[in-house]
Amino acid sequence: MRRRDFVLGALGAGLASSGALDTLVGNDRAAKAASARGAIPYGAAVRTDLLDPELDYKAAIIDHCQLVVGEGGLKWIDLRPGQDQFVFDQPDRLMDFADRNGMQMRGHTLAWYGAMPDWTKTIASSAEAERELVHHITTVVGHYQGRIPSWDVVNEAIAERPEKGSVIRDSIWQERLGKRYIEIALRTAADIDPSAQLVVNDYNIENPTAQCRDRRTALLNLLRDLKDRDVPLHAVGIQGHLPGDMEIDREGLSAFVEEVKKMQLDVLVTELDVIDDKLPAREYDRDQIVAARARDFLGAICEAARPSAILTWGITDRYTWVPMWFKREDGKPNRPLPLDAECRPKALMKVIDKFTRAAE
Ligand code: 9MR
């Protein structure tokens, strides 16, 4: 995939059994249907500090992406080393890079349980939590007002294993404010930048397991509740950290997206990669399975709706979070992303290309 003439405004608005012929035909149709309505912007999570020292990395981003998102930088731990500090250097540099190269930047993320600086543990009361959350979102969304068209406002709000009574994941926000924190975050972001696409972003909803099914149900209930109460919300982000050794629940995922569409919400793929620690050692075989998983995943989504963007969590296997949690036992490097460690396109890039490129 090469950089294409592209209307960036689009954002606002055989190895595995999955390689079976009928699946491929179905996915081809889904890819065509999605792309026939114009190209879908593609983007990747970026390690901003490496753009300058690693020229081939920088070139790969420029060459392939219409969107960027900081892999870090806008997380509380990066932005808020102290309670009175906001350190915008890194995201400002990424914004600059995006501007200079005709790309748009997504914002990740405003309210999450993870990557929180220690001082936030001292937030004691619900009033203090609300004050901090509102102050943070007002300042950060305000800093980029009109320049970040899409925000992951709330990240990973659904409990790992949702059970009756505890469907929302523990976090400082949930502990102090209950699930009201989600509404507070969305309303504040909408007040500060009414033009931004506000996204609730989550993962682990795509496999044929009871856990994924329960997580889909919990997420749909959350979205419905927010919509019923007119809380400003525009889209759901499906992260897509796909376990390479598991099938995609195509039916379950398509049905989920159908429901999202009925609520007049958009869908984005925000963090696609394929966790390959359990896949065969041979690179060719592994890359084919990785590509097939992504094809099933994107096919199931695109059959139900056209995503407003597709982003991978990183672009080259040289820089990926995957080995932090999913190192391979044979010591071989992970290959979860569209480009290999030398920034050469792999089978996964072809799949992404097929789903994102406008029909010629
Ligand atoms: O890839 C990110 C890694 O470099 C960070 O150390 C980690 C904590 O900030 O977050 C990783 O990104 C996560 C993203 O923010 C939310 N979804 C899951 C991603 C992978 O863990």
DSSP class of residue 241 equals E
Residue with tokens 């970040």: 148
Long-range contacts of 85-91 (CB under 8 A, 24+ apart): 86/139, 86/140, 86/143, 88/143, 90/48, 90/49, 91/48, 91/144
Q: What is the DSSP letter of 198?
A: E
SS3 223: helix
Provide the whole-model pTM.
0.93
Q: What would the two tokens of residue 117 be?
A: 């600086």
Find out whether 193 and 145 touch, Cβ atoms under 8 Å.
yes
- Position of tokens 């405004």? 9
Distance, in Å, from the CA atom of 48 to the CA atom of 251, rounded to the nearest integer, reads 37
Mean pLDDT on 60-69: 98
Neighbours of 132 (CB within 10 A): 18
Atom of ligand 1 nearest to the CA of 314: 1
Q: For ligand 1, atom 13, which residue shows the shortest CA distance?
A: 71
Q: Which of 158, 272, 321 is the pocket-test mutation for ligand 1 (most atoms within 8 Å of CB)?
A: 321
Q: Which residues pair with 67 in a beta bridge?
A: 43, 104
Nearest-CA residue for atom 8 of ligand 1: 115
Contacts of 167 (CB under 8 A, 6+ apart): 158, 159, 218, 221, 222
Expressed in angstroms and rounded, the spacing between residue 262 Cα and the centre of ligand 1 is 30
Q: How far is the CA of 51 from the centre of ligand 1 (A)?
A: 18
Please name every residue paired with 155 in a beta bridge, in sequence order, or none if there are none. Answer: 201
75 CA to centre of ligand 1 in angstroms: 10
Of these residues, 71, 132, 259, 271, which one is catalytic?
271
Please give the pLDDT value at position 326: 98
Give the distance (Å) from ligand 1 centre to CA of residue 255: 27
Residue 155 CA: nearest ligand 1 atom is: 16
Whether the pLDDT of residue 8 is over 80: the answer is no
DSSP at 339: B
Tell me, in angstroms, the distance from the centre of ligand 1 to residue 321's CA.
7
303 part of the active site: no
328 has pLDDT over 60: yes
Considering 156, 206, 259, 303, which one is annotated as catalytic? 156
Residue type, 100: R
pLDDT in tens, 179-228: 999 999 999 999 999 999 999 999 999 999 999 999 999 999 999 999 99
* Spacing, Cα 72 to ligand 1 middle (Å): 7
Ligand 1 centroid–CA 205 distance in Å is 17
In the chain, domain spans = 3-356
8 A C-beta contact, residue 265 and residue 233 = yes
19-63: pLDDT as tens digits: 433 455 568 888 877 766 679 999 999 999 999 999 999 999 999
Residue among 79, 76, 78, 239 nearest 172 (CA)? 76
Residue type present at position 253: L
User: How many beta carbons lie within 10 A of that of residue 75, not counting itself?
Assistant: 20
What is the spatial distance between Cα 140 and Cα 80, in angstroms, rounded to a whole number? 11
**Structure tokens given for 61:** 């981003």
Atom of ligand 1 nearest to the CA of 45: 1
Would you place residue 359 in the very low, low, confident or very high pLDDT band (cuts 50, 70, 90)?
A: low
What are the pLDDT digits (tens) for 249-279?
Answer: 999 999 999 999 999 999 999 999 999 999 9
Number of H helices, E strands in the chain: 12, 11
Pick the CATH number of 3-356 from 3.20.20.80, 3.40.50.10490, 3.40.50.720, 3.60.15.10: 3.20.20.80
**Which is nearest to 43 in space by CA: 110, 108, 103?**
103
Give residue 159's identity as a one-letter amino acid code: A
Q: Give the three-class secondary structure for 271.
A: strand
Report residues whose beta carbon is within 6 angstroms of any ligand 1 atom.
71-72, 75, 114-115, 155, 239, 271, 313, 321
| Residue 267 φ then ψ, to 5° | -125, 140
Would you say residue 2 has pLDDT above 50?
no
For 146-189, the pLDDT digits (tens) are 999 999 999 999 999 998 778 999 999 999 999 999 999 999 99
Residue closest via CA to ligand 1's atom 12 equals: 71
Residue 118 per-residue DSSP state: G
Closest by CA position to 335, among listed 275, 295, 285: 275
CA distances from residue 128 to 121, 122, 123, 233, 249 in whole angstroms, order as listed: 12, 10, 6, 24, 42
- Ligand 1 atom nearest to CA at 203: 17
Testing ligand 1's pocket by substitution, the residue of 313, 318, 320 carrying the most ligand atoms inside 8 A of its CB is: 313
Please confirm whether the linkage preceding 109 is cis (ω < 30° from 0): yes
Looking only at the bridges linking them, the beta strands covering 166-168 and 158-163 are antiparallel
DSSP state of 345: B
Question: Which of residues 273 and 18 earns the better pLDDT score?
Answer: 273
Active site residue 271: yes
Phi-psi region of 165 (alpha: psi -120 to 50; beta: other; left: phi over 0): left
Protein residue with least CA distance to atom 1, ligand 1? 321
Eight-class DSSP state of 209: S
CA nearest ligand 1 atom 7, residue: 115
